[in-house]
Amino acid sequence: MAEERAKRAHGGPAFKGRGARSNRAGRFERFETEPFDDGWNGLDEAPAPLRTQIQPDASRTVIARNSSPDLGFDRSINPYRGCEHGCVYCFARPSHAYLGLSPGRDFESRIFAKHDAAELLSRELRRPGYRCRLMALGTNTDPYQPVERRLAITRGILTVLAAHDHPVGIVTKSALVTRDIDILKPMAARGLAAVFLSITTLDRALARRLEPRAAAPVRRLEAIGALREAGIPVGVMVAPVIPALTDAELEAILAAAAEAGATRAGYIVLRLPLEIADLFQEWLARHAPNKARRVLAQMREMRGGRLYDSAFGQRQTGTGASAELLAKRFDLALRRHRLMAGSPRLDSTQFRLSPARGDQLKLL
């Protein structure tokens, strides 16, 4: 059924700089629409430009909690819902269905920004009983997506974390992270900050189709170099590894990242939960039709016969012979390039509450 829908949708209108080919309703909606040519050839007309809309996110809290054994953190901040990078494989896409929007084009063009994130964070850090642990940025959507250049919400969050000596780990596909070296450098000197650049492929043309508004691979490598030069611990996340499409680049990505200055690395196998399966199959039908069957077959081989398995302990790396081989290749490449696996341990013992307006002055 999913493959049939993908075949019907892949020939729809393309929007420059967008990853998803369709905009079907989310899984909670009662009705679904499909394009239909009424005889006036309307479907043959070029669509109007799809412009990004920024809306305020009215959330009352900014720190999200999780208890996943697959993750090395229990709290995170996502300054934005939706992501203009438009990565077709993004595992965060299904979250837009909770907003009554499509995980397709809506996800990359209807962005919800947490304008008061810094204020909310400052308030939450000062709550009685707060216990400091690593704060992760970029766990769902990219904190340095294009609109961040104008809104600087992520920068505001980092300013608050720095003022409280709170450790932070960042994952991004954007070279814009280098803008905040002035904040990250002194934090890193005290063991409070680390950054990972996510690289899917070194092929610029393929990257433009997979992740149309993310930084080009060479720009991400340059960002790794700039962060390393500033003394900020920096690593590379090879994510996602797409079987039969980008998996052959694993060693090359790790080599390029190590040469640029990365000291750590990780990888994640492509995940296709919920609506992402259809969206990715639409993308394959349009951009890699000759490889589509092989990609999907290898995905099923690594996911116990399904396109996705959400079980803890294997959803990130897959199972089976292909997954085991990938893990061995990764370990060998780490040793070859003297990279360490995983994130560095950051210091949570320095956390302090910075003075706020209205606080009583302490006696000397």
Cis status of the peptide bond prior to 240, with omega within 30 of 0: yes
Residue pair 304/328 in contact (Cβ under 8 Å)? The answer is no
pTM, two decimals, is 0.89
268: exposed, middle or buried (C-beta count within 10 Å: 0-12, 13-18, 19+)? middle
The CATH label, of 3.20.20.70, 3.30.300.20, 3.90.1150.10, 3.30.110.30, for the domain at 16-31+52-341 is: 3.20.20.70
Whether 8 has a pLDDT exceeding 50, the answer reads no
Give the pLDDT of residue 4. 47
In this structure, the strands spanning 168-172 and 193-199 are: parallel
- Mean per-residue pLDDT over the chain, rounded: 90
Residues 6+ positions from 81 with CB-CB distance below 8 Å = 57, 95, 96, 99, 111, 112, 141
Give the pLDDT of residue 309. 87
SS (H, E, C) 197-241: EEECCCCHHHHHHHCCCCCCHHHHHHHHHHHHHCCCCEEEEEEEE
Q: Is 87 left (phi over 0), alpha (psi -120 to 50) or beta?
A: beta
Q: Which of 22-36, 240-254, 296-310 has the lowest mean pLDDT?
A: 22-36
Give the pLDDT of residue 56. 96
Where do the structural domains in the chain lie, given as residue ranges?
Answer: 16-31+52-341
Percent residues over pLDDT 70 in the chain: 88
Residue 35: how many CB atoms within 10 A of its CB? 12
Give the pLDDT of residue 27. 79
Using the CB atoms, write b or e for 308-333: b if 16+ within 10 Å. Answer: bbeeeebbbbbbbebbeebeebbeeb
Residue pair 103/94 in contact (Cβ under 8 Å)? The answer is yes
Confidence of residue 313 (pLDDT cuts 50, 70, 90): confident
Amino acid at 140: N
Q: Which of 15-29, 95-109, 162-176 holds the top average pLDDT?
A: 162-176
Give the pLDDT of residue 201. 98
What does each C-alpha distance from 124 to 61, 69, 340 come to in angstroms?
A: 8, 24, 33
**Mean local confidence (pLDDT), 5-12:** 47
Side-chain-side CA neighbours of residue 46 (13 Å)? 4
Q: What is the pLDDT of residues 206-244, one digit of tens each?
A: 999 999 999 999 999 999 999 999 999 999 999 999 999
Residue 147: how many CB atoms within 10 A of its CB? 18
Give the pLDDT of residue 41. 60
Give the pLDDT of residue 363. 47
Whether 5 has a pLDDT exceeding 60, the answer reads no
Q: Report how far apart the first and last C-alpha atoms of the chain are (Å, whole number).
A: 72
Give the pLDDT of residue 7. 45
Whether 13 has a pLDDT exceeding 70, the answer reads no
Confidence of residue 68 (pLDDT cuts 50, 70, 90): confident
**Mean local confidence (pLDDT), 49-62:** 91
Please choose, from the candidates 95, 117, 114, the residue with its C-alpha nearest in 3D space to the C-alpha of residue 104: 95
Whether 49 has a pLDDT exceeding 80, the answer reads no
Q: What is the pLDDT of residues 124-142, one digit of tens each?
A: 999 999 999 999 998 899 9
Q: Give the integer Cα–Cα distance in Å for 101 and 116.
A: 23
Whether 1 has a pLDDT exceeding 80, the answer reads no
Give the pLDDT of residue 359. 59
Give the pLDDT of residue 39. 67
Q: What is the pLDDT of residues 165-185, one digit of tens each?
A: 999 999 999 999 999 999 999
Q: Give the integer Cα–Cα distance in Å for 302 and 207.
A: 23
Amino acid at 43: L
Residue pair 114/80 in contact (Cβ under 8 Å)? The answer is yes
